[in-house]
Amino acid sequence: VILTFFVSLLQMKSALFYLRGRAFEALENRQKAAQWYQKAVVADVHCFEVYLCTALAFLYKYPYFF
């Protein structure tokens, strides 16, 4: 029971970091958004949305890379 509570707490923390990243991305501050996405990945490595947004932020930063 305690382990389940701890895991859900980490997922909630990751979700909040992810939402902060999305907010900064909406404000077109992609550097801060990338920092919050990074924190979200550290909090929960299974959060797929964070990986997707990190990849999109990379593509916005380096559009000529691909």
CB within 8 Å of 43: residues ≥ 6 apart: 10, 13, 14, 17
Residue 20 is predicted with a pLDDT of: 93
Residue 34 is predicted with a pLDDT of: 83
Task: Report pLDDT digits (tens) over 4-36.
Answer: 666 678 788 888 998 999 899 899 888 898 888
CA distance 45 to 51: 9
Lookup result for tokens 């404000």: 27
User: Between 53 and 25, whose confidence is greater?
Assistant: 25
pTM of the predicted model as reported, rounded to 2 decimal places? 0.72
Question: Two tokens at 60?
Answer: 């916005």
Of 13, 14, 35, 15, give the one whose Cα is nearest residue 24: 35
